[in-house]
Structures are given as structure tokens and as C-alpha cells.
Structure 1
Amino acid sequence: MEREVIQSVGFRNIKKDGKITGFQMKIRLPYYRGVFLSQLRPGTLIVDGQRYEKEDIIWNIKGEDYTYEEMKTNYDTHWAVTTPAVLKVQKEGGLAQGFHDITYGFCFTSSYMPPMMQDTLDPDEESEIFMPEFGHHVNHRHLLIV
């Protein structure tokens, strides 16, 4: 795995029945203990200025797909630091070949940290103040789809 949270390997379009139905990317968890899915607070994904809300993103952990709603009450599935998550987005035709600007952020709660959340990357939208040491990660990459 790469050091960056957003991985360059795994960024590609998704094909189903010969048609491109969306795109996917891999991210890693930068927290040494890992987290259960119920601890995750997914954020907004921005690709080339287009926003994809947390409800539009399917998380794949260890080969299983989860919606945001399913993750909120999943206390059994553990995301380990050594396992990348695959984020999938439905988008007819996927993304064009070439470079894309990607920004994604998420946070998580922990039993020994206050449960603060920020569900958006939009600074104009009201949200609680979030300190990086409480597990908030906003990441930016410029990646290629071939």
C-alpha cells in the first residue's frame, strides 16, 4: 500500500455486463488499530469538482459491499489498517480517460476520543469544528484512469 490515504492503484472505471456503470478508488485507513464500520463517518467525495455524497458511495471491505446506512449499525465488520477499502460510485459512462482531481475525507470515532463529526468538505456549510488528532482525514490526489 502507498503512504497516501487515496491509493493510485485501484482507481478505475467499473464495468458490468459490458457497460461502464461507475468508477472506484481505494483508500487506506491511517489508524493503527483499525475501526469497526459503525465507527466510520464517511464524507463527501469530490472528483473534478463534482460532489458525490456519502449516501452515493458504496464501501467494499474485504469483498463485501456496504451502504452508508448499513455501515452505521455494523458493529461486527472490522476495517484493518493493512486492508484497503474500495469506494464505488455509480456514474453512467464512468470517468473519462486521463487525469482526475480527487478529494475525499472521512473520520471515525474511538472509545477514548470525543465523538466529533464533520460530514462535509464544504467550508461554507455549518459543521462542528474537527481536530485532526480525532481521526479526520481530508486527502487530495491527482490520478490517472487509462
Structure 2
Amino acid sequence: MFDRYIIVNDSLRATQSGESVTGFAVDLRLPYYRGLWLSAVTVSVHVDGEEIAPETASLTVHGNTYPLDRLSEVSEDRWPFDEAATFSVTRPGGLEVGEHVIAARLHVRVAYHAAGFEGHNEKTLVLREAR
């Protein structure tokens, strides 16, 4: 429905612990006009054609962080439509500074549509120097 808004413009950034770059993050939005329980959402992200392994990623919604490979178990937290969530990846050294093609696919399961549906968005974002 709202595929073109899934990846938030200019949201690619390095993540750090002290002076060390520990990975990267990008903000995502739901492609569905109502919020959903996190257990009803499956997130898949590719960076420069490489699929991000779920065990290396997490999703943060309104300050609560969940491992991506355990998202299906999160039935007590809801992702509101109007709130961006942070998709974070643990990767020592992160990504190179510069342009990266980010592709996100979100599969959502809703009560009135047994198979659910998918939203897909691809954008080229620029990673600037870690601060």
C-alpha cells in the first residue's frame, strides 16, 4: 500500500560503541495503514544485493529492541503506522562511506487476508562518516 515510504530517506547511518564502528542502521516504516503487532511482521533487508542475516539484525520500535530472528514471538508490542522503526545490523567496521542500495521487504499478516501481503521498497542511500 505505502511501499515507497518503507525506507526512510537519509536514515542510513553507522552505529558505534565508543570510537569503534559496530555496524549500521536504517529506519523503516510499515506499508500498512494501521499499526500491527510485531509478531505479524516479517522483515527482510538487502544491502548492495547482500541479504542481511536475521541473526545479525534487530528492530527497535519506540525504544524497545528485538532480535529480528525472534520478531515472530513479540506479541505484546505494536508497531504504529506513523512511527519509523530502526533496523540495526551488527557488523564490525560497518559499511564503507558512500552510496548503498538498500532493499526492504516487509510481509504483514492481517486478520482479513489469510496470506497477508508484502511491501517492497528499494532506495540508494548515502552513508556519511561515522561521528
Which residue type is aligned with residue 30 of structure 1?
P
The residue number in structure 2 matching 1:40 is: 41
**Seq. identity, %:** 26
Deviation, 1:15, is 0.7
Q: Distance in 2 between matches of 1:85 and 1:74?
A: 15
Greater RCO (CA < 8 Å, at least 6 residues apart): 2
The residue number in structure 2 matching 1:11 is: 12
Q: TM-score, length-normalised on structure 2?
A: 0.88
The residue number in structure 2 matching 1:92 is: 92
Q: Distance in 2 between matches of 1:68 and 1:47?
A: 16
Q: Residues 54 and 69 of structure 2 are in contact (CA less than 8 Å); yes or no, is this contact kept in structure 1?
A: no
In structure 2, the gaps of 5 or more residues are none
The residue number in structure 2 matching 1:120 is: none
Q: Distance in 2 between matches of 1:4 and 1:76?
A: 25
Q: TM-score, length-normalised on structure 1?
A: 0.79
Q: Any runs of at least 4 consecutive aligned residues in structure 1 with deviations exceeding 3 A, and if so which?
A: none
The residue number in structure 1 matching 2:127 is: 145
Quote the RMSD (CA, aligned, Å).
Answer: 1.4
Q: Distance in 1 between matches of 2:61 and 2:70?
A: 12
Q: Distance in 1 between matches of 2:76 and 2:121?
A: 27
Q: Distance in 1 between matches of 2:113 and 2:7?
A: 24
Which residue type is aligned with residue 21 of structure 1?
T
In structure 1, the gaps of 5 or more residues are 117-133
Which structure has greater strand proportion? 2
Distance 1:69 1:103, change over 3 A: closer
SS for the counterpart of 1:109 is: strand
CA deviation map 1:112-144 (0-9, x unaligned): 111x3xxxxxxxxxxxxxxxxx43012100000
Count of paired positions: 125
Q: Distance in 2 between matches of 1:93 and 1:8?
A: 23
